[in-house]
Structure 1
């Protein structure tokens, strides 16, 4: 046991549950579906980090390890990303969502046929087939009826969550029933068979990308724009125009004219990127940054949500502690 292996996960868990309570309270006030799903995602975050704290402080067990892997590797990023998908349901963001699901499925397929994960080919093939159907359905729905795309994405996620839940809870584990990095004592997924590990792509990769680029897209919507490429070029136009618009956004910030959602959503995007990066490094044996990235990422997302007028109109702990006037919603801006 090391000090940071206990303190950082504990901090992440406590902050996650407090954050979840605030978001779910906002959902209770406003009944917005994206807030409910974000709240669920933050509860998952708290459980995953809590299992890390428990393992570091009191010792790992098979139950704690399975809980950590199921929630952390499959649910956290997926449900936080799904909340962003629901927020942007009236926009063309569904095209990107469908693409990330396809990309995650493709990575699962490629991983499953690598020597690193023996015996995982069938799981990879099935995962890719499901991701292919789901991704195409999301893209098709975006083209014809945008709000339906978010519902399809949520439906696929819920059904897939049940499936991977069964597989993770029943998969045989290598002795002693969990796996830790020998140097840092950070948990790794190596105790699970390859057919389970290759399933994570459409969950954590697609979820993280939706959360990151959903934040960037939202910032782009609200910042003063310099359009270099026409909107019909979709994702490429957003990426290029976002970069081209940054100098104007910085100038507006200095003059006090920048919409508060711009720094808020950029903080959320950066906060999502950090644990996404450190989790990916963990998969390939670089574990020293795992707990730190988890905590810093959550902290940045928390600050970003507090800054966002659209998300936190009131802050309450039993009673209203702080309130501000509503402004135009993201949906009305981009719908």
Structure 2
């Protein structure tokens, strides 16, 4: 295995630290649903890179592949996006979207678990072309687009709102960092579909670093949030 294949180990270790930080934050504000979902999001992010690390160390197996596909392709950015939904939208709307999303994720994950695998195309790189039920791969873009719209789009929307006032420069840059961090794994995922899985490993590490940096910048900013849900809970 090339050295780049071991990057997910570093990503996992850093994500564990991030989990501790954001979980501690949420425990102080348990009513903040956006923090709960962001915590879940970092956990699932770490789950995906953990599976990649196991693959690097121990090699391919049907269990490792399916766990990777579920944790990475389906759960990689969606919980983080759901946190942004709870931040920006009314709770009732966010709850409805959550219910729909959970059903879609459960059905999609069951399909991955049940799908036969074509082990003749297995290589040292994880790739979704192993799935014999190829229609599953057409579900993934819709889930990823959902994540991009709300995680990246939500961060850019917040950045645009904060850009109007110099008082909010910290929150502006924090959201820009989060948006960049949300985009990077998506680029890596696209490259994975082209057979360049190791690009994903690099973008995953950079992505979580950018998201953490943005989170810290916003958390340490002394100005009041423009988002009502954040003002009342954090």
Partner of 1:80: 80
Bigger proportion of residues as helix: 2
- 1:261 pairs with one of 148, 171, 177: 171
Counterpart in the other structure of 1:107? none
Determine the C-alpha separation between the residues in 1 that align with 2:149 and 2:185: 12
The alignment's C-alpha RMSD in Å is 2.1
Which runs of no fewer than 5 residues in structure 1 stay unpaired?
91-146, 226-251, 314-323
> Are the aligned partners of 2:5 and 2:198 in contact in 1 as well (CA < 8 Å)?
no
Counterparts of 2:37 and 2:96, CA distance in 1: 14
Give unpaired runs (5+ residues) of structure 2: none
TM-score under structure 2 length normalisation: 0.90
1:179 aligns with 2:178: no
Paired positions, count: 229
Residue-by-residue CA offset, 1:271-319 (whole Å, 9 max, x unaligned): 111111121121133434221111111111111111113xxx6xxxxxx
Q: Which residue of 2 aligns with 1:144?
A: none
In the other structure, the counterpart of 2:97 is 153
State the Cα distance separating 1:187 from its structure 2 match.
Answer: 1.1
CA shift at 1:170, angstroms?
Answer: 1.2
2:2 corresponds in structure 1 to: 2
Displacement of 1:169 after TM fit? Answer: 1.0
Greater CA radius of gyration, 1 or 2? 1
Q: 1:70 touches 1:165 (CA, 8 Å); kept in 2?
A: yes
Q: Which of 1 and 2 has higher RCO (CA within 8 Å, sep 6+)?
A: 2
8 Å CA contact 2:175–2:214 kept in 1: the answer is yes
**8 Å Cα contact 1:40/1:79 also seen in 2:** yes
User: In the aligned structure 2, how far is the partner of 1:153 from the partner of 1:20?
Assistant: 24
Q: CA deviation at 1:266?
A: 0.1
Aligned 8 A contact 1:221 1:334 in 2 = no
Q: Structure 1, residues 203-238: CA drift from partner, whole Å, max 9, x if none?
A: 12211221111111111111226xxxxxxxxxxxxx
